Structures are given as structure tokens and as C-alpha cells.
Amino acid sequence: MSNPKVTNENTELFHSSHLMLLITYTVFAALLTGKAFLVGWEKWVLVLVGFAVIVCWIMHFRQEGTPQIRVRIYTILMLCTTFFYGIHPTVTFDLGVVIGGLIVLFSTTGMKSLITLSQVTYYVTMVYNVASLFMAGEKFDTLFFTRLTLHFALVFFIGWFAKTIIDKWTQLLTRSQDEIDQLTEDTERLNDFLANVSHEIRTPVNAVIGLSSICIDKSQNREILGDLVSVREAGRRVADQISDILDYSELDRKKAVCNNEDYMLSSVLHDLVTEIRHNKSKELELIIDVDPAIPAVMHSDVSKLKKILRALITNGLKYTRKGGVYVRIACETQSYGVNLCIEVTDTGIGMTEYELEKVYENFYQADSGRARLGGGLGLGLAIVSGFVSLLGGFMTISSKPDVGTTVHVSLPQKVVDPTTCMSVVNPDQLCLGAYLHFEKYSDPAVRDYYNSMVLNIVKGLGVQMHRVNNSEDLRLLHDSIHMTHLFVAEEEYTSNMELMEELGKDMIVVVVANDDIVLPAGSRVRVMEKPFYCFPVVSVLNTSIHDKQSAGFKMYCRGVRALVVDDEPMNLVVGKSIFRSYGMDVTTVLSGQEAIDICREKVFDIIFMDHMMGGMDGVEAMKRIRADVSGKNGEVPVVALTANAMSSAKQMFLAEGFDGFVSKPIETDELERVMKQVLPKSSISMEEIGAAEPPKQEFEEMRSPSAPKVTSISLREQLRSYDVDTDAGMKYCMNDLEFYKSLLVQFVLEAEEKSPLMGRYYESGEWHEYEILVHALKSTSKMLGAGHLSEDAKAMEMAAKEHREEYIAENHYALMSEYTRLVKGIGDILEEEVQTARAEKEATQTSEAEPSDESGEDEILEFDATEEPAPEPKPEDAKTTEADDEILEFNPVEEEGGKEK
């Protein structure tokens, strides 16, 4: 019996035979009609033949029945027509040629039964002819019998050859299909292996990254600090490669899906730049040119968009020895929204035509020299191409050896907020100066990139800028017009430091520099870390010289307990460093849900909340923290952190209920102004720069007397057998052992309610409620250090969100078994604490149930509670003014008539 897969593929392989049969039948019917009229055959049969041809064409166009049934109908009608042709004595010995041609034609269908039917039709027709001739008294000679025998044998052998060819062909296809199935199975196993290995490696790599970050914060030895930074960067590089393997595996198995959400391009670029700038060589320039007309909020898979941008930019930096990378992001309006157009151009080594043809292949790197230069797995562009196709876009690549490469990507996006992605307040009142000597760059392409970016910023924002190339012209410019802002390159600042500090008294002076620049004590200038691009510029333009702090003093908020919420780890590192410099006790979390969870356990004095986060955005998290009756932070001030550069953003966030607004990247003056507004005056002190700080409280002193260090070690050893990384859990609890133990106890108590609910929702197929519970399990288990359980819960959360019931059915009981095992293990280890907490909880529920029975129900249904969302405020349109001359090359000879206002 033939392989069913092969039979199905044969049907596809021989699909063209349907049309061949119909065309042949039509031509044959036309010739038969002509001959019938010439020799006077029966005319009424021709009507039936014409009707049969029409019916066959109708069946073909309407695709009536299965392909096999249609082929058999075509064959029977053709053979009936052939029988009518062959029963006439004048064509007795022509029939063999006709049948032989039909056998060859039918062999293209791969159906041996049609060959047999053709042979039987021929034999029946010939027997009918011989019988008719015999009845008519025809005399048969030796030549007649010889010809008859020869035609019989010819038809037999033609049919035998046709059947043999079909058998051999089927055997070949069967072997090929078996090989294809084996290769497919091997590929699936390899992909599963890669995914499993990557998943297993990710946990220890995350531990390496996390622990090295902790050691970096504690280390005082500069040599050891450098080694720790190298370890962390190596861990991050491995983590990125693991992520590439997982992405490639999903794309290769056709299991990659889109998780679309609303996002702001400003947030995407800020997170991306924060991550990339630390891996960029200082000898290379990264220029990001964004069209201000791009909509403020769009709808797409933001994680895949970020990976596309990261891969293209890092790939350009990787293969560029000198010069830089230019990123241009613009949009084209379409009926469905916009096409987000991304163009990444580098001045790197380029590619030949052969390499361009191979670049989309998996694991491809141009040659050994190129591989040594770039390293990596060779999956970058393959993943980018897969993600672009998944998002419904397209990608083109053009390149020339030793000149550079340009990658153009176009992605369709739905528009949520059509207002522009950036704007400034009162652009007509701004006058910008620029001491940016682009001619110092040896590569002319880099000069063109910077000129193009600056022109687009000035033109898009509707402001006026005056550029100078030397310090003398800068002095004359300052004497001639009143500038509000001055942008200076690092080299220009260091060579004219006294002049820049002097100008800083009258205007905002911004130095565009690398992160290693050192400013003199009490400097009035601000540093804008490279890369130089539009969103930080807009943030600076929306601040005033009057917002600057008093020289010689620094603001401190010692002892203030701050919670920082952001889904980008690098932003948390930066934010943690900034807020700690004010003497704050900083706690960081990676999601809105984690913020809600920790706000139920710890009291904070201020919360800094990122706006655009996956799962739950900052607005919803803020409202849930405020409305959470079981929380301890209902009245705490919440400040919005966002890279939104729109002038109306502040009003929008304040209308939503935030107490303050700080744009990213964080400007010190703006941050301090907001903290002065929202924090009590008693929490803020102004101290002289360089004043001695009070000694820090050591970690051991923070522990309670009843919880000595040996308790932590014992707890770590006991929890290790349950795959719990106590170091990670203690990190989430800011190394507070008692708090960590309370979370473990709470985890056990919550499981007594959540575990039955998860089972009930699973049995009833209520996937939204199921998704909420596994999301909570993901967050709480991650806070405890149960990384494996958190990852499994995360996978189940995504499956519930996408209603992949087959995946849920395959993994639900394994998840519940792992969950139950961990809960039981913690319950056994902390048996006394769990019993005490359970008794206190039962006593509390009993006392609360006496006046009202509704409180207990509200506690169980906490995740089902929904709020009426606040109406979306309409952001005011920012006024823009188009200047006739956006960038003016300053000529001191032409500047007369006093200062320009």
C-alpha cells in the first residue's frame, strides 16, 4: 500500500494533468465533430459529446468533487467518446494509436486504474469491430490478423510500460517522502534540543548576570570591579545569543506569534539606546534620525520591533571599522495606519553580490575573516527577516564592498494616537546655538548623516538654530542674539571649557559626549550622552535655565523609600544609580503587577512608574495601587517616568492621576523640581557638595537579632532542593531576610486559594481568569527565586492569552505538580511560621466576616475586580512654527542691529 502522504502529494504533483486532460478532450471532440460531418457519422452523438465537454469544464472551474473523482469522470467520458470513434470500420486500425496516446496522457495522473480502463476499452472496441465485420460477411486474410495481433500487443506493452513508470515513480516519491519525514523529525528534535538547552542555560546565565551586578554595586576595588563588569558583559552576550537561538527555533518551527500592544517609539528608542550605547565603540558614531511626524502611539508587536532595530544596529556596528551607523526612522501614511520605515546604513566592509544572495540563510557569515571580525551565530538577519515577515512587512538590502550596507525595513502599524511623537513648548520663543564642528569627522558620510539629522530635528520641531565652527564666531553669536540653548560637541567643549562655563550662566549649555567625560566641580553645563538624537534634545528644549539648582549645593532625600518600576533592566540600573545618589533606599521591580504585589507588603514614600510596559501599563498599575485596599501605598505619590517627548504628555499623565511627570532620559533639574513638589519638605535637605555622608548601615546590622546569618545559609540549603535561588529572592527583598521569609509564607497561604481556582478555571476553560492566576504565579515565584516555576508559568500565561488549549492541556498538570511540590516544600521548611500566619489569617477573616460576609469574597475575587477606566484626555496640540531658515550658518559680518529676541 502506498504512503498516504505520497498519494496526497501525487495529487498535487499531477494537478496540471487535469487541465491537460480537458484540453486534449476538447481538441479531440472538435476533430471528431469535423470528421463526423465529413464522412456522415451519427450527428446526435455529437450533441452528447459537446455536452460532456461542457460539463467537464464546469466541474473543473467549480472544483466539484475531489480531484480523483473529477479525473475519473473526465477519463470515462473521453473513453466513451473514443469508443464512438473506434466502432466505425474506417478507423479500426487507427484506434490503437489513439488509445496509445491516451495511455501516455493518463500516466501523468499517476493512477494505474485509468491505464487498465483504457486497455479494456480498446479490447472491447476491437472485439466489437471484428464481430461487426464478421456479421457483415467480411473476409479476414493473414494480413488482417497480423495487424490485429500487432495492435493488441502494442496497446498491452504501452500500458505495461506506463504502469511500470508509475510504480517506479511512486517508489521514488515514497523514499523521498520518508527521507523528508526523517529530516523534518530530526530538525524538530534539533530545534527542541536547542530550545531546551537554551532554556536550561538561561537560568544560570541570569544568575551570573544578577550576582555580578550585585558584586559590582558592592565592590570598592577598581581592578576587581573591571573584572566583574567583564563577567557581566560576557553573561549578557551569552543571554543575547540564547535569545537568538530561541527566536530562530520559533521561526523555524512556524510557532512564532505576534503579541501586539500599544507602544510609543520614544520608549522603544530610549530603552534600545540605553542598552546599545554601552556596547558601542567610542571610535564609531551612531546617528539616529527620527521623523517628528511619526504618530505618538502605534499598535504592533513592540518586542519584535525592538529586536529588529537592535539586530540591525548592532550588526552595522559589528562590521564597521571606521565611520559609523546612521538610522533613519520615518513613516508613510496608509489607509490602515502607517508604514514605519526603518533604514539602517553603515560605512562598514559591505557585501558582494554573492554574499547578498546568501545573507538570508541561517547561520551564514560571509567568510572566515568576516566571522572573526563580527563573531556571533549568524542568525541576526535571518531572525530579522522572519520577524519582518511575521509583522506583515518587507526588507531589502543593498551593499557595496568597502563602501557599506543599507537595510530598509517597512512595517505596517496601526495608529492609536495620531499626534506627533515629539514637540516643544513655544518653539517660536526658542533660539538654539550649535557649536558642532562636523568637519572633524574624516568620513564624509558621517558628516552628511549628522547634518541630515540636525536639519530634520530643527525643521520638524519648527525651531531656529545657528551653527558656528569656531569659538570666535560663537562669542560673536552670543553678543548678537539671545540664545536659549547651546549644543556643544565634546571636543569643542574641552578646548574652550572656560567659555562654555561662562555661557552657561545665560543659557542652557549641553555637551554631547561619551560617558567618560569629566566636568569640573560646580560645572553649569549639562551632559547629553551619545548617541545624539531627537528625544533627549526635545527633553532639554522643554526645560528652562531657571530650573537649574544652586551651585555648590546638592539635594538629598536621605531615608526616602523609593520604588522604581520599569520593564527594561538597564533603565532600572540607571534609575537605581540616580536615586541612590540622593540617599534614597531604592527598590526596583520589572512590571506593574510586581509593583502591585510589593506595595501590598512594603511601605514606600514615592513610586517612579514607567508608562509603557508589557502586560500592564503604568497608568493601570498606578490606579490599582491607589485602589488596592489591602495595600499600604494608597496615598503615596506616584511619578510617571516616560520617554514621551510630546509637550502635552505632562498634562495627560497628571489628568490620569499621577502626581508628577519626569521624562527619560532623566534630567537632574526636572527630577529635583518634581521631587520638591511631591515629597514632604522634611524629606529634603540641601547639603554642600563634598560634605561627608553619614556611614552606611551594614547588611548584618539590618538583620533582626532573631535572624542570624546562619539562618539564611540554612534556608538556602533547604530551598536549593526545590530549585529556589534564594540569592535572587533576597535581591528582590533588598537582602531583608525576614521580608523574604514573609514572602515565602505568603506564597504558601496564597496557594491554598489559587491552586483550586487554577484547577477550576482549567476545567471550565475560563482562560482569561486562568491567565491572571498564572501571571500572578509567574511574578510571585520569580520574587522568591523559583526561576523554573516562573518561566513555566510565563509560558502558560502566553498560552492562555492566545487560547492555545492544546499546549495548556499538555502542561497544566506538570505546572500544578511543580507548584504543589514547591508549596509543600516551603510549608515543611517554614512549618511553624506558616501555621502562625495561617492562624492569624483565619482569625482576621473570622473577625472581618462578623460584620459583613462580603470581605472574604472580595479577597478571593481580587483579580476579577475591574475598574471603570478614566476617560482618555485629549492632548492639546502643540504649536509649531516653521522658520524660513531652520539652520542658519552664522556670519559675523552680517549680524547687526543688536540682539535678536
Q: Cell digits for 94?
A: 487507427
Backbone angles phi, psi at 706, to 5 degrees: -80, 0
Helix (H) or strand (E) holding 486: strand 485-489
Range 408-434 average pLDDT:
89
pLDDT at 308: 92
For helices 649-656 and 618-627, give the axis angle rounded to 10 degrees. 30
User: Is residue 413 within 8 Å of residue 290, measured between CB atoms?
Assistant: no
pLDDT at 547: 54
Task: Of 118-122, 188-192, 458-462, give the lowest mean pLDDT range.
Answer: 188-192
pLDDT at 230: 82
734: region left, alpha or beta (phi > 0 left; psi from -120 to 50 alpha):
left
Which is more confidently placed, 156 or 899? Answer: 156
Which is more confidently placed, 422 or 278? Answer: 422
Helix (H) or strand (E) holding 6: helix 4-13
Does residue 283 carry a pLDDT above 50? yes
Contacts of 194 (CB under 8 A, 6+ apart): 245, 246, 248, 249
The average confidence (pLDDT) of the chain is 78
Greatest extent of the chain over all pairs of C-alpha atoms, in Å: 134
Does residue 329 carry a pLDDT above 90? yes
Range 590-601 average pLDDT:
90
pLDDT at 7: 47
pLDDT at 388: 92
For residue 609, the SS3 value is strand
* Portion of the chain with pLDDT greater than 90, in percent: 14
CA 576/CA 586 separation, integer angstroms: 6
C-alpha 719: how far from chain center:
35
**pLDDT interval class at 470 (50, 70, 90):** confident
Q: Cell digits for 752?
A: 491554598
CA 116/CA 100 separation, integer angstroms: 12
pLDDT at 639: 93
pLDDT at 703: 35
What count of other Cβ atoms lies within 10 Å of the Cβ of residue 863?
14
pTM exceeds 0.75: no
Does residue 682 carry a pLDDT above 60? yes
- Looking up cell 574641552 gives 494
Does residue 891 carry a pLDDT above 70? no
Does residue 435 carry a pLDDT above 70? yes
Helix (H) or strand (E) holding 763: helix 737-764
| Per-residue pLDDT tens over the stretch 830-886 | 888 888 888 877 776 666 555 444 433 333 223 333 333 444 444 444 333 333 344
Range 620-647 average pLDDT:
76
pLDDT at 853: 43
Sheet with strand 585-589: strands edge to edge: 585-589, 561-565, 606-610, 638-642, 660-663
Range 578-601 average pLDDT:
89
pLDDT at 408: 95
Does residue 359 carry a pLDDT above 80? no
Helical H runs in 462-547?
471-480, 490-495, 497-503, 534-541
**pLDDT interval class at 360 (50, 70, 90):** low
For 267-280, the DSSP string reads: HHHHHHHHHHGGGS
Output b/e per residue, 518-553; b: 16+ Cβ within 10 A.
ebeeebbbbbbbbbbbbbbbbbbbbbeeeebeeeee
DSSP state of 566: -
Does residue 249 carry a pLDDT above 80? no
Most confident of 189-203, 541-555, 618-632: 618-632
pLDDT at 725: 80
CA 738/CA 708 separation, integer angstroms: 10
Beta bridge partners of 343: 328, 408
| Per-residue pLDDT tens over the stretch 104-132 | 888 888 888 889 999 999 999 988 888 88
Does residue 769 carry a pLDDT above 70? yes
* Portion of the chain with pLDDT greater than 70, in percent: 80
CA 557/CA 675 separation, integer angstroms: 9
Cis peptide before 665 (omega within 30 of 0): yes
pLDDT at 894: 43
- Looking up cell 500487443 gives 153
Which is more confidently placed, 137 or 447? Answer: 447
- Looking up cell 535561588 gives 725
CA 398/CA 407 separation, integer angstroms: 7
CA 119/CA 404 separation, integer angstroms: 67
| Per-residue pLDDT tens over the stretch 521-536 | 778 888 888 888 888 8
pLDDT at 708: 36
pLDDT at 631: 61
Query: Angle 177-183-188 (CA atoms, 0-180°, nearest 5)?
Result: 125
pLDDT at 157: 92
| Per-residue pLDDT tens over the stretch 699-751 | 333 333 333 333 444 677 788 778 888 877 775 554 557 767 877 887 888 78
Contacts of 679 (CB under 8 A, 6+ apart): 557, 560, 605, 606, 637
What count of other Cβ atoms lies within 10 Å of the Cβ of residue 617?
18
For 690-759, the DSSP string reads: TPPPPPPPPHHHHS-TTS-HHHHHHHHHHHHTTT--HHHHHHHTTT-HHHHHHHHHHHHHHHHHHHHHHH
Which is more confidently placed, 552 or 586? Answer: 586
Q: How many residues does the chain have?
A: 901
